[in-house]
Amino acid sequence: MHTRVLEPRQITILTTSKCTAACRHCCMNSSPERSDTLTWEQLEKILSQAFTDLRLKLVIFAGGEPMLLGNTLYKALRMVKSHGLATRMVTNAYWASSREHAQLKLRELEQAGLDELNISSDDYHLDFIKLDAVRNAYELALTMNFSAVVLANCFGPESHLTPERIRREFGTADMKLRFDDDGATIENHKQKGKTLVVLSNSPVQSLARGCTEMKPSELPAALTDSELDRIGDLVGGCPWAIRSAAISAKGHFVACCGFEVEDNPILDYGSLDTHPLAELVDKADNDLVTNMIAILGPIKVMRLLQRICPDEISFPRGYRSYCEVCFDLVSLKQNRDALYRHMDEFVEVILAARNLVKQTYLDKGVREYPPLRITADLSASPGPSKTTPIADWRG
C-alpha cells in the first residue's frame, strides 16, 4: 500500500437514503420516499476491503435511518467489532416508541457490538418523532454499556427544542457540550468503564433540502466577511475531506457525509460495485480539487476564486458555516466550472503542502496530522502558486 496523504481514519456507511422522517433541514435529503439501501452482500464486500486497504479507527452507520436495515445492520456491526474497530450509529430513535421496545432494540445493538449511540432530535425531527421516543432511547441507553451516548440537536432563532431545554429535560450531571459559545469544538475524553454523555449543540445550517425548505428566520444570522475569514483561518484545510469519508446508499465512495454528495461531479469518486475501494481512495487522494478543499479549505478557495475570476463564479448568499460555503462551491455548476478552469494555478502550492505532510508526519509513521493552515496573505496575487513558498505553511 503506497502512502496516501488523504486517507480515511474513519468512514461513514450511509446505509440507506430512506428515513421515517423528512426533516426540512436534512443535509442528506433523506425521506420515506427514497429507497436506495445497501444490501448485506454490498456491506460485506465494502467492509472487507476497508479492513484490508484502510487504517481505520471508527466505522459509523448512518443514513437515512440505519435501523431500517434490521438484522443486516447487526451483522455489519458484528463484522466491524470482530476486527477490533469502534462503531457508532446515528439514529432518530423512531424505534423507541415504548420503553419495552427501546430496551429490546438497544440490547440488540449492544450485543451486536455498537459502542456509540448518536440520537438526532430537534424541532425538525419532532414533526415525525415524538420526544418521548428520544427520551426512552436516551434514558435506557445510559443503563447499558455504550462508551458514548450523544444527543444531536440543531437549533436556530425560532427553535423550541433548544440545547438549554434538552439539558433541562434530559440532562444529567455528567452531560458535556460538544461546542463552546464561539462554536469551537470542546474535547471530551472517554473514561474506561464510564459512558460519555454529550449534547452536540450545533446551529442549524442551510444545506441540501434546507436550502429550499427552510425560512430565513429559522436560520442564524449570516456571518460577516471578517467572521467567515476567521473561521477559514481557524479551521484551515477541511479536516473531514476524505479523512472522514463515506460510502453512499448507492455504494459510492464520497468525500464526506456533511451533506449529500452522491453523484456530485467533484466529491463522488465512483461506485464500489465496479471499482475496488483502494482504487477509488487513490483517485480521491490524487484529485487536485479535493486536495484544494482539504488543504486550503472551501472558504480560502472561495476567496481566491473571487480574486482570480470574480465574473465566473457565484456565491449568492450569506454564509453561516464552513460547510455552507463548501456546498455552494461544489454544488453550483458555475463554481465547479471555474474550479476546473483555474485549478492549474493551485498545483504548486498543493504539491508543496502534500510534501510537507509527508516529510513532517507520514514519513515518520504518524498517520494523523492536524489541518494545514495557510499563513501567507494570498489576496494580493492572482494565484497562490505564484507567492506561497513552503515556509508559509504550518500544521
- Name residue, grid cell 430513535: 93
SS3 245: strand
Residues 29-39: pLDDT tens digits? 999 999 999 99
Four-residue CA torsion sign, 65, 67, 72, 74: positive
Where do the CATH 3.20.20.70 domains begin and end in the chain?
Answer: 10-221
pLDDT recorded at residue 1: 53
Provide the pLDDT confidence category of residue 368 given band limits of 50, 70 and 90: confident
Residue range 363-386: mean pLDDT, rounded? 66
Residues 29-71: pLDDT tens digits? 999 999 999 999 999 999 999 999 999 999 999 999 999 999 9
Cα angle for residues 321, 325, 328 (degrees, 5° grid): 140
**DSSP symbols for 261-272:** -TT-TTTEEEET
**DSSP symbols for 327-356:** HHHHHSHHHHHHHHHHGGGGHHHHHHHHHH
Provide the pLDDT confidence category of residue 3 given band limits of 50, 70 and 90: confident
CATH code matching the domain that covers 10-221, chosen among 3.40.50.2000, 3.30.365.10, 3.20.20.70, 3.40.50.1820: 3.20.20.70
My answer on whether omega of the bond before 64 falls inside 30° of 0, hence cis, is yes
Q: How far apart are CA 290 and CA 6, in angstroms?
A: 9
Contacts of 395 (CB under 8 A, 6+ apart): 356, 357, 360, 361, 369, 370, 371, 372, 373
Contact call for residues 177 and 186 (beta carbons, < 8 A): yes
pLDDT recorded at residue 184: 80
Residues 257-278: pLDDT tens digits? 999 999 999 999 999 999 999 9
Cell representation of residue 231? 473561521
pLDDT recorded at residue 132: 97
Residues 89-137: pLDDT tens digits? 999 999 999 999 999 999 999 999 999 999 999 999 999 999 999 999 9
pLDDT recorded at residue 43: 98
pLDDT above 90 as % of the chain: 84
Question: The pTM is what?
Answer: 0.94
pLDDT recorded at residue 28: 97
Contact call for residues 24 and 57 (beta carbons, < 8 A): no
